[in-house]
Structure formats: structure tokens, C-alpha cells
Amino acid sequence: AQSVTQPDIHITVSEGASLELRCNYSYGATPYLFWYVQSPGQGLQLLLKYFSGDTLVQGIKGFEAEFKRSQSSFNLRKPSVHWSDAAEYFCAVGAWSGGYNKLIFGAGTRLAVHP
Amino acid sequence: KAGVTQTPRYLIKTRGQQVTLSCSPISGHRSVSWYQQTPGQGLQFLFEYFSETQRNKGNFPGRFSGRQFSNSRSEMNVSTLELGDSALYLCASSYGLAGGETQYFGPGTRLLVL
């Protein structure tokens, strides 16, 4: 069965520190992988996605993620966190099967940033 | 391009009532998907519509239904509301033609059932 695991429910970092959010997936075929961010009371904004090619993907707001097939992981990183990065982050795998398209989300990681 | 819009943004209903939520996709997008977000269950796929046809449905009871119009706008309906239907309902649009497409999300409709 397709699934996404985000092991860390809540992470707190200091402003300026580096960040890594973990994501592991289970999917039979080559996955389409996404990271979305959600600010309080808002919808989801796409940070970056991977579907083929270079395994290191650059996104918006200085985020990047690395696809590691051998570890079934797609971890999100940022070298220096800003206070405005405080939000909830969702990893998702895109299932394209039988002509339909849906996203399977992880439970999310809530990021708090200390000044 | 204008983004995905959802109306209304907030809604309060009582148990047993029904509710209709609306979603207007990005211009040119023919696929609209709906998701339910709750603190306990997270983000769950409800259904996807493409060119007025439901292509896939998640594991939700029949009280949850939807439709799509010829202009790709979509509505979802929940009948006989239960307390557990309180959630943020998000819709997302995409071209719907291939895997790996980005789904663009609206701001959501927050439904409170009393």
C-alpha cells in the first residue's frame, strides 16, 4: 500500500540554524514526491517536487530536498531557517494509476522557530 | 493567473443539515481534487473530477458527493452532517493529464458542525 511517513510531529529550531525534515515513502513504482507548506488558516503551497532526473531538487524559499531511492526517503532541508518558516510541512507522494491523480500525504511536521 | 478559489471560507452548520462547498480551479485546469483535513486523520483524499467525470474516490461514506461542471468548477456536498465532519476542506486543481503534475490548492473551507 502507498504511504508516507513523517517521523517528526514537531520540531523546534533557532533562527539561523539548519533544518532537515524527514520523509519516508512506500510506493511500488517510481514515485512522484512533493513537499508542501501550510501556514495557519491557509491552504497548501508547493515548495518543491521530484518526478525524475536529478535527485537533488531545489525549491522556493531556499528549500531543497534529496530523493534517495535506496532509503525510500525524500528529506527536506534548508541551510538557515528564518522566523517566517514557522509552519506545518507536508510530504506527499503522487499516485497516478488507472488514469487518476491523487496525493497521499504524511501526517505533517510542525516547525517552530525560536528567535 | 488567478489561483484556486473556494467559497465560502467559513461555515457553521448543525448536525443533520447538508452543506455545499464550491471550488473554482485555475484557468485551463480540468482536474479538481478534494481533500479533508482534520487534526486526527490529517489530509485525506475525497475524490477527483476530470472533465465532469469522477475518476477516483477515497474511502468516505456516500454522504460525501461531488460534481464538476463544464467550466471545470466543482462542488462537493455533504449530507446529514455529523460532528466528525468538522474539518478544513481543501480543493486542488491541475491539468489532470499525467502523473507528477503539481496540484495547486485553494485556501480551503473551514466547516464547523455543531
* Number of helices and strands in chain A (H, E): 0, 12
The DSSP output letter for B112 is: E
Average pLDDT for A70-84: 96
Contacts of A110 (CB under 8 A, 6+ apart): A9, A10, A11, A87, A88, A89
Per DSSP, the three-state class of B91 is strand
| B89-A110-A59 Cα angle (round to 5) | 85
Whether residue B87 contacts residue B73, with contact meaning beta carbons closer than 8 Å, is answered with: no
B104 interaction partners in chain A (CB closer than 8 Å): 46
Read off the pLDDT of residues A25-71 as tens digits, 9 standing for 90 and up.
998 777 899 999 999 888 999 999 998 888 999 999 999 999 999 99
CA A54 to chain B, closest CA, distance in angstroms equals 15
pLDDT at site A100: 64
Give percent above pLDDT 90 in chain A: 77
CA distance B26 to B79: 27
CA B92 to chain A, closest CA, distance in angstroms equals 9
pLDDT at site B30: 95
Q: Which of residues B97 and B103 earns the better pLDDT score?
A: B103
How many contacts, defined by CB atoms under 8 Å, are there between A and B? 68
CA distance A93 to A51: 10
Read off the pLDDT of residues B82-91 as tens digits, 9 standing for 90 and up.
999 999 999 9
Give the model's confidence band at A98: pLDDT under 50 very low, under 70 low, under 90 confident, else very high.
Answer: low
pLDDT at site A27: 81
Cβ separation B101–A101 shorter than 8 A: yes
Read off the pLDDT of residues B32-64 as tens digits, 9 standing for 90 and up.
999 999 999 999 999 999 999 999 899 999 999
B4 interaction partners in chain A (CB closer than 8 Å): 43
